[in-house]
Amino acid sequence: MFETVVLATDGSESASRAVTLAFDFAERFDATIHALYVIDETEVETSPERVRGELHAALEERGEEALSEIASRTGDVTTAVREGDPAKEICAYAEDVNAGLIVTGTRGRHGEHAFLLGSVAEAVVRRSPVPVLTARQLDPDEERDVPVPGGMGS
């Protein structure tokens, strides 16, 4: 059903639940995980010209760190860094690797400023050629009430 799962991350704390869910799906369906970080070229291009190089390098480093952390959980993760519009790149990558599912957090580095879904998550849901699982970061009080992963349909 889901042979390949694309895990889109921005390295934020709110993406941590998406990481957990992606690994749960991969284990349950014996799927491979492709972890993807996209450097938002609009964020770089709209920054002051004198800091663009530094910002790009910092975003790239953040991406490599986020992907390294994900890959350290298991040796069976393919990682990639792309540049461009995050939603477009996530969807294109999913098509490139013939993914059956995309997993992403609902809010990224820009936090609570977006309502319901973050703009990237919403755009991925709208554009994706495959199903998208969005994972909301839970407050500590809510975490106690969530069923144990792997309990889907059991």
Task: Give per-residue pLDDT as tens, 30-42.
Answer: 999 999 999 999 9
For residue 107, the enclosing domain spans 4-139
Say how many domains are in the chain.
1
Q: How confident is the model at residue 110 (pLDDT cuts 50, 70, 90)?
A: very low
Q: Quote the mean pLDDT of the chain.
A: 85
Residue 143: its pLDDT value, please? 53
For residue 58, how many other CB atoms are within 10 A of its CB? 13
Q: Is residue 146 part of a domain?
A: no
Does residue 84 sit within a domain? yes
Q: pLDDT tens-digit profile of 15-66?
A: 888 999 999 999 999 999 999 999 999 999 999 999 999 999 999 999 999 9
| pTM of the predicted structure, to 2 decimals | 0.83
Whole-angstrom CA distances from 114 to 54, 64, 96, 107, 124 are: 26, 26, 29, 8, 15
Question: Residue 124 belongs to a domain with what CATH number?
Answer: 3.40.50.620
Does residue 132 fall inside a structural domain? yes
